Chains A and B, each alone.
Chain A
């Protein structure tokens, strides 16, 4: 029995040991866009560099400060977005990456899979440079508060703008002020986004 397996899948192990597309300063990779997310305080930080032509991702490099699953998930993501349309890449979710890795422990999906956010941050930067700011915003949004039609993306944006606790999030979005049924889910997302963006 391989004792490593209980912690992570063989795919994770393989990407952890041999990560793909890691940024090497000597290589002089010329990127069109860059995205950085994460917080060293929480133990994970990630940088994504993209080379894009006609909205197609031509090449990718990344760096991360993080645990084995952070390294493996970013490596896996970097492989899968090569040749991908940026609109499609923008919609990649942590669970998509986890599935490709043969699964990750539940607590790791939230804290270590930052690659999708770093990738989106890089694509946002690219769009902004092209004068297309916000073009993909809300495309893959999931409605959290059905009373007020507030999505996960709205929460994410509010946290990015400084709403780091429930009270501030409510002030910014009015979330949970009608029936309050979304509070548990919304607080989970708040916690996750605070971890990533604060």
Chain B
């Protein structure tokens, strides 16, 4: 009998879709340098431009002209922040950076670098659901604001931010607006035109495509400077020989993600509530983290006070269930998830948090298996715990 294997860590990364894999196997033979003028080069370039248009469609861009391929979300985010660094150095009168307390570490650390260099950096607080505090944003926005960077949806708790309103507010002071949409793209409908963004970050491996490829959308006319200097690839925005295989895979993954979007939302919303209700009916003292409605359809973050996250994760792992946790013990630091702490969660609840992130291959049987395996694990850990599960619940 083979061991049951339930992958519920799709926000960490997704498996490669078979259609994408097939397309990439074909693309392995597209060896020509897409910058070459000869026929092989032109053929490779045509495939890349086709992929670019496909990715542009997924994010509602008019065409591929504002879309630049990068190595992934971290590079895209860093490119935006380093562009702001150059702009702010030239014009110190406008170099305030506004971001949030719950960004991905690559935005957090890029912002921290600018702060080290003397830029004023504000980390907006969030409410208990993880939504940006609009009053603080309003207060912080000023004529010296250079960039507002707010993630479209949070990777840990799934909360979706009101990017449209935030962008409108940022535009009133003529600040540039960036959104790290790495977790939102392919999970919820999203359009750079509708949102009015200057910059949007996305990554391919979160939408069932290969790793090592991502993109940055730049509104035509908004400033952008290369992080990697070299040849004139990507209009001089990103040097380096074209990653034919990754880009072609990305194009296919984007095409499929766009086509599947309505069904994905419906299916995952239903699976998520089945999981949430099933676990909450069988396990006492469970707290749901994240927004009750404005939340990614695939992401469920729960706290099990009294039980520690790494111990829960490894117990689930022994049952073949793959999840992640906001506990410090799993991260190697002494601090639990900065996202959960920013929502006001006490350390007892943050250490006991588990993120279930489902995906297109998830089934009701997967969900039911987790609902069956989880209660005895929590019960066992709570029994040997010094911490009362009621602590911090009020």
Contact = CB atoms under 8 A, between A and B. Distances in A.
Chains A and B are bound partners: yes
Interface of A: 4, 7, 16-17, 19, 22-24, 36, 38, 40-47, 63-68, 70-71, 107, 111-112, 195
B387 interface: yes
B327 interface: yes
B383 A22 contact: yes
A22 B306 CA distance: 15
Interface in B260-288: none
B317 interface: yes
Contacts of A45: 386-387
B328 A22 contact: no
B386 A47 contact: yes
Contacts of B308: 43-44, 65-67, 70
A109 B384 CA distance: 21
A46 B386 contact: yes
Contacts of B386: 36, 38, 45-47, 63-65
Contacts of A46: 386
Interface residues of B, number: 25
A111 B329 contact: yes
Given A67-B309, A68-B310, 20 more contacts: A17-B318, A22-B384, A23-B384, A36-B386, A38-B386, A41-B347, A43-B309, A43-B327, A43-B328, A43-B336, A45-B386, A63-B385, A65-B306, A65-B385, A65-B387, A67-B310, A67-B311, A67-B314, A67-B329, A195-B334
Contacts of A16: 311, 314
A66 B334 contact: no
Residue in B307, B314, B387 whose Cβ sees the most chain A Cβ within 10 Å: B314
Residue in B307, B332, B391 whose Cβ sees the most chain A Cβ within 10 Å: B332
Residue in B317, B387, B391 whose Cβ sees the most chain A Cβ within 10 Å: B387
Task: Please classify the interface of chain A as helix (H, G, I), strand (E, B), loop, or mixed, using the class held by over half of its residues.
Answer: mixed
B348 interface: yes
Nearest to A38: B386
B355 interface: no
Interface in B376-394: 383-387, 391
5 contacts: A40-B387, A44-B308, A67-B314, A112-B329, A195-B334
B336 A68 contact: no
B384 A71 contact: yes
B314 A68 contact: yes
A66 B330 CA distance: 11
A94 to B, nearest CB: 16
Contact of B334 (A7, A68, A111): A111
B351 interface: yes
Contacts of B384: 19, 22-23, 63-64, 71
A40 B351 contact: yes
Nearest to B348: A40
Nearest to A22: B384
A112 B332 CA distance: 11
A71 B377 CA distance: 14
Nearest to A16: B314
